[in-house]
Every structure is written in structure tokens, then in C-alpha cells.
Chains A and B, each alone.
Chain A
Amino acid sequence: MLNNINLKRMRIAVTGGTSGLGSALVRNLAASRARVAFVARRAQLVELVSRETNACGIVGDVGIKEDIHAMALEIGWNLGGLDVLVNNASSLGPTPLKLLADTECEELHEALVVNVLGPFRLTKALFGALAASARDGRGGIVINISSDAAVSAYPGWGAYGAAKAALSHMTAIWAEEARDEGVRFLSLDPGDMDTPLHALAVPDADPATLKRPEDAAQEIVASMLGALREYAPLELARRP
């Protein structure tokens, strides 16, 4: 039975679902017949990806506090619950990239709001649904998309790197705290990808040296399946 775990009918939400890695993830998951909802800011793009994938598109901005519960509500209603949340939406901070001493406070603030506070708020709003999924023996996984900039001190990547480091450490602590609720937290670094975000940061990078977002999406899906597989025996053991 454990080998049969797949994504069919899993209820999965992805933020930043119309661009780069997020869009590749939505397409991959929808093709695996998961029940997918995604969030993005631009209504036209949301409609386009929704039409192409049959995934449920929700217009919203994880950087706006007032949008968070509306998103959470639409995700919960459209999917009938939630098994996996992928916090993928991300902001580089100032572009072109700036040295920290040149970075405006407001620019750092914006990077922290989108990369840390947004995922915190959305995860908190959906934590009840994720814990309910875990109690029902389905799953309950949060995947936060990280970066090697969270670990390595790349000059020019201060706002982004500091924010991703905060997100990554928050993920590690939440993983400890939520384990007994049956909700798992993963921080995954997809690597340098050929995406609009990377092009903004490093405009003259050679795309041929970068990972395709479709390949990174496939690796993330593999980690998701791995977490679900680890989860299953834990659940079975816990049953009276």
C-alpha cells in the first residue's frame, strides 16, 4: 500500500502559481490529477493558467494581510480541505540587486513581508486545515521554497537572502513544533533556475547553465511524495 502513494486527489495549494517554478509545479501537479489551487496577483495570468491546467486559480497577494484569509477560505472551499501547502511566492527585494548599505528600509521590509510574513500568515490561516488533514490520516505538509542565498552570503542578495534565511529557520522550528500534530514542514532549495525571478536578479546569466523550472518542480514533487510515504507508517502506527 505504501508504494501506491500518489498525488491523485491530494489537495494541494501553491502560491505564486503563474510564473517560473510555481507555474511548473501547478502544471506538474494538475497532470498528476491532484486537486490543485494556486494563488497569484495578476487576474489575467491566473485565468490563463487556470484555463490551461483546470486548476483552481485565486487572485491574491501573499504580501497583503487582508488577502490572506480570503485566499485561505477560497482554497479550503474549492479543494474541500488541504493536504499540502507550497509557499512558493517570493520577492527579490530591490532589483537590480543592491548592496545592503544601499537598500532602502522599505525594500527590505517588502522582501520580509512577501518572503516571511506572507508564508507565516497563510500557513497559520491554513494550519487548522492541515492539522485536520493529518488527523484524517491524509497528510498535512508545508513546503517552503528556500534558496542557497539563505545559507551563503552572496553580496547584493541581502534583502532576499536575509528573508529566505528567516523563512528557512522558521520552517525548521515549525517542523519541530508541528510534528506531533502530524503536520510536516520542509524547506526545499530548487537551485538556480531559468525563471523570470532569476532573470531579474542576474540579467546576463546564460539560461543554458540554469535548471529548467520543470525539472525543479519534478524534484519538489518527488520530495512531497517522499514526505507522504514517511507519513503513512507513522499514522498507521499511531492508530489504536
Chain B
Amino acid sequence: MTAADRIDRPFAKLLVANHDGVISQLPRAALSSLFQPGDLVVANEAATLPASLQGVHRPTGEPIEARLAGWLSFRDPTRFVAVVFGAGDYRMTTEDRAPPAPLAAGDRLEFGPLIASVEGLLNHPRLVHISFAGHPASVMSGLVRHGRPIQYAHIPEPLRLWDVWTKIAADPIAFEAPSAGFALDWRTLKGWRERGVGFATLSHAAGLSSTGDAALDRRLPFDEFYRISEACASAIEGAKSRSGRVIAIGTSVVRALESAGTDGTVRAGEGRASGRIARGARLRVVGAILTGVHQPGESHYELLRAFADDKVLDRVRAAVEERGYRAHEFGDSLLIERQAA
């Protein structure tokens, strides 16, 4: 049993806001019967790293928790952007977490078998570049053994890697789970295949969804690396040429595709998605998004404003509250189609 596979998961809910702003509600298991032949579903195949590290700030001897939040150089596990907390762990809400001991460039940090140092601060006492000493493969091995999945106080039991990997997880580059993908299982993919709905994946190094610090949260999402395969790029071209829609599973897929397809053509390769997608952003690739339930102000919610206007999103919020949709990363799902202009 995993967090994503709890007993209630087969009864997960799905709210659909279509391109006319009309709202309907379905069991999420009906996902496999949605979409038209020729449409293409694109999901994030990133697997989640155990990116929370408990350790010690050597100059003061005080306990710290570092949450790895982004690659400085894609796939190089010796250098990261990290958010650092003082004593405590996920059981305390991030808003209540103490700041770390004052950090300075050159400070030595120890995380179990791993030794790291602060490269520098990024205009905030919690936000740093850190680098790990050692060969990349042995650093990764140390991370895998000492790290825990990043998690939040709403789930009391400690999460394990199997809780934070989606069924399609393949490429271990994400710092938090690309959680919209928890809605997918192989039965759903089979249903789409049988109905002529295409399926492709990209990998996008999803970062932190929240830090508990208002100033830092305003800077989310940080820049995130992604990779789009030839097969994925050509599947998107194929869908476009058939006038099929591209349905993104999660905000990370929207960020990657809209970043790689600024002129409407998605090119294969690696890239870096930066900045927020929000109201007024012109979506050139994605026609609908499957996502979780988010709150206004969160970057994930702001991204939905590129798909639908506030009248529609307000009705979505009202319906979600009325029906008791679960808002956490293992919760219920929304499908928001891009509104006709």
C-alpha cells in the first residue's frame, strides 16, 4: 500500500471544466474514456529523488534540514539549489519551521555520509547553492541512502520512495513528485491506446511546491530543467497535424512544452523552463491540463489562469469545496480545458 494507492484511491474524483467553461464531475477512473482519437496525452516521467537531507551545520553544530530544490547543472548530483531549515522535520508545517543557523559561503554541512559546503546565498537566508564532495556516482549513492522524500505535515507517516514515484516514473530527476501523474495507471493508458488516444512522456525536474516562506514562495517555481525525446516531439507534431489536442498531465508538462515550443513547434532536446505561466500567457502547444486542486496565489493555480478565466476558475473552486475534493498531492484531480478565445 502506498500513499498514492490508499484504499480510497479507486474512488478519487475528477472535475472537468470544458472549453466552454461547463463543469462536470466524474469518478477519476473514467479518465481512460475521456479524450478523442488523435488527441495526445503527455505526462512527466520524472522519478522523484529523496531530496530532504537531515544534517548538521558544522560551524555551529546546529541541526539543519536541506531540501534540494533544483539542479545547478542538469543531472550532476554534486551541485544543487537548496532551501535550508533549522531543527525539525516534515511533521512541523513549513511555515512554523525555524530558520537555519546563519549560513555563509564556505560553511561545511554534514548529511549522514555526505559532506557538502555552502557555495553562496541567493538573496535569502534559507536559499543557497550547495556542493557535495566526491565522485558523482558515490554522491548519488549517498543521497539515495541518506535522503528521504520531501514531504509536508498533512501526511503523518514518513513517505518512502515508492510513495512518491508515479507508475510511469522513469528518470530520477524530480525533487518533488510530478503529482498529477498519480492519476495515471497502466489500465488507463491501455484504455487510451485502445481508443486511439496517443501517449508520450517527457522528463521535467519538478522542484519544490512550497517553502513556507512567503518571500521564497513568490519566487517559485525556480528554473527547472527538462528533456523532450525525439519520440515525444514527433508525437506532438503528429497530433498537431491531425488537429488533435495535447493534454498535459501536470503543470510541469505545461512548463516544459510551452518553454520548448515558443513558436508552436516543440523541439526535442534539453532545456530550462523559467518564470511563471499565468493569466494572459499564450499557450501554443497545450490544449488541456490535468492537475490537482490548488489555491489562488500558488504558482500551480496561477498557471491555470492561462487556461481559463476567473469566472470559470471561481466556479471550479466552489464545486471543489462543495464536493470535498482532497487538495493534497495524493488527492483528487481537475481537468481544465483551454477556453475558446
Q: Do B171 and A129 touch (CB < 8 A)?
A: yes
Question: What are 7 sample pairs from A and B whose C-beta atoms fall under 8 A apart?
Answer: A69-B162, A69-B165, A72-B47, A74-B144, A77-B140, A127-B186, A135-B200
Closest 9 CB pairs of A and B: A69-B161, A129-B170, A128-B170, A132-B170, A128-B168, A128-B169, A73-B172, A70-B144, A76-B172
Q: B32-60 vs A: 1/0 string, CB under 8 Å?
A: 00000000000001010100000000000
Q: Do B47 and A76 touch (CB < 8 A)?
A: yes
Q: Determine if B31 is an interface residue (Cβ-Cβ < 8 Å).
A: no
- A49 CB to nearest chain B CB (Å): 15
Q: Do A69 and B160 touch (CB < 8 A)?
A: yes
Decide yes or no: A81 and B171 within 8 Å by CB, A69-B165, A70-B161 being known contacts: yes
Q: A118-136 vs B: 1/0 string, CB under 8 Å?
A: 0000000101110110011
A-chain residues with CB within 8 Å of residue B140 when the two chains form the complex: 74, 77-78
Q: Do B161 and A136 touch (CB < 8 A)?
A: no
Number of interface residues of A (CB under 8 A): 28
Q: A74-B140, A127-B186 are in contact. List 8 more A-B contacts (CB 8 A).
A: A69-B161, A73-B47, A73-B49, A125-B165, A128-B165, A128-B168, A131-B168, A132-B170
Number of interface residues of B (CB under 8 A): 33
Q: Determine if B229 is an interface residue (Cβ-Cβ < 8 Å).
A: yes
For chain B, residues 58 to 93, give those with C-beta under 8 angstroms from any C-beta of chain A. Answer: 75, 77
For chain B, residues 181 to 202, give those with C-beta under 8 angstroms from any C-beta of chain A. Answer: 186, 189-190, 193, 199-201
For chain A, residues 37 to 80, give those with C-beta under 8 angstroms from any C-beta of chain B. Answer: 56, 58, 66, 68-70, 72-74, 76-78, 80
Q: Determine if A180 is an interface residue (Cβ-Cβ < 8 Å).
A: yes
Q: Determine if B231 is an interface residue (Cβ-Cβ < 8 Å).
A: yes
* CB < 8 Å neighbour of A135 from B49, B75, B77, B231: B231
B-chain residues with CB within 8 Å of residue A78 when the two chains form the complex: 137, 140
* CB < 8 Å neighbour of B171 from A58, A132, A177: A132
Q: Determine if A233 is an interface residue (Cβ-Cβ < 8 Å).
A: no
Decide yes or no: A135 and B193 within 8 Å by CB, A69-B165, A129-B171 being known contacts: no
Q: Determine if A137 is an interface residue (Cβ-Cβ < 8 Å).
A: yes
Q: By DSSP majority rule, is chain A's interface helix, strand, loop, or mixed?
A: helix
Q: Do A181 and B172 touch (CB < 8 A)?
A: no
B-chain residues with CB within 8 Å of residue A70 when the two chains form the complex: 144-145, 161
- B218 CB to nearest chain A CB (Å): 32
In the complex, A136 Cα to B230 Cα: how many Å? Answer: 7
* CB < 8 Å neighbour of A128 from B77, B137, B166: B166
Q: Determine if A96 is an interface residue (Cβ-Cβ < 8 Å).
A: no
A-chain residues with CB within 8 Å of residue B167 when the two chains form the complex: 127-128
Q: Determine if B125 is an interface residue (Cβ-Cβ < 8 Å).
A: no
- B61 CB to nearest chain A CB (Å): 29
* CB < 8 Å neighbour of B75 from A73, A77, A136, A180: A77
- B208 CB to nearest chain A CB (Å): 19
In the complex, A79 Cα to B229 Cα: how many Å? Answer: 16
Q: Do A81 and B49 touch (CB < 8 A)?
A: no
Q: Do B201 and A135 touch (CB < 8 A)?
A: yes
Q: Do A180 and B190 touch (CB < 8 A)?
A: yes
In the complex, A70 Cα to B238 Cα: how many Å? Answer: 37
Q: Do A137 and B231 touch (CB < 8 A)?
A: yes
- A117 CB to nearest chain B CB (Å): 13
* CB < 8 Å neighbour of B141 from A74, A80, A125: A74
Which residue on chain A has the smallest CB distance to residue B181?
A: A128
For chain B, residues 207 to 251, give those with C-beta under 8 angstroms from any C-beta of chain A. Answer: 229-232, 238
- B291 CB to nearest chain A CB (Å): 20
A-chain residues with CB within 8 Å of residue B75 when the two chains form the complex: 77, 80
In the complex, A81 Cα to B229 Cα: how many Å? Answer: 12
Decide yes or no: A136 and B231 within 8 Å by CB, A125-B165, A128-B45 being known contacts: yes
Q: Do A125 and B189 touch (CB < 8 A)?
A: no
- B5 CB to nearest chain A CB (Å): 12
In the complex, A132 Cα to B47 Cα: how many Å? Answer: 12
A-chain residues with CB within 8 Å of residue B200 when the two chains form the complex: 135
Decide yes or no: A77 and B172 within 8 Å by CB, A70-B161, A128-B47, A128-B167 being known contacts: yes
A-chain residues with CB within 8 Å of residue B229 when the two chains form the complex: 135-136
In the complex, A56 Cα to B141 Cα: how many Å? Answer: 11
* CB < 8 Å neighbour of A73 from B144, B193, B199: B144
For chain A, residues 2 to 51, give those with C-beta under 8 angstroms from any C-beta of chain B. Answer: none
Q: Do B171 and A56 touch (CB < 8 A)?
A: no
- A236 CB to nearest chain B CB (Å): 13
Q: Do A181 and B144 touch (CB < 8 A)?
A: no
For chain A, residues 214 to 240, give those with C-beta under 8 angstroms from any C-beta of chain B. Answer: 240
- A118 CB to nearest chain B CB (Å): 14
A-chain residues with CB within 8 Å of residue B145 when the two chains form the complex: 70
Scoring A68, A135, A180 by chain B CB atoms within 10 A of each residue's CB, the highest score goes to: A135
- B136 CB to nearest chain A CB (Å): 9
- B273 CB to nearest chain A CB (Å): 20
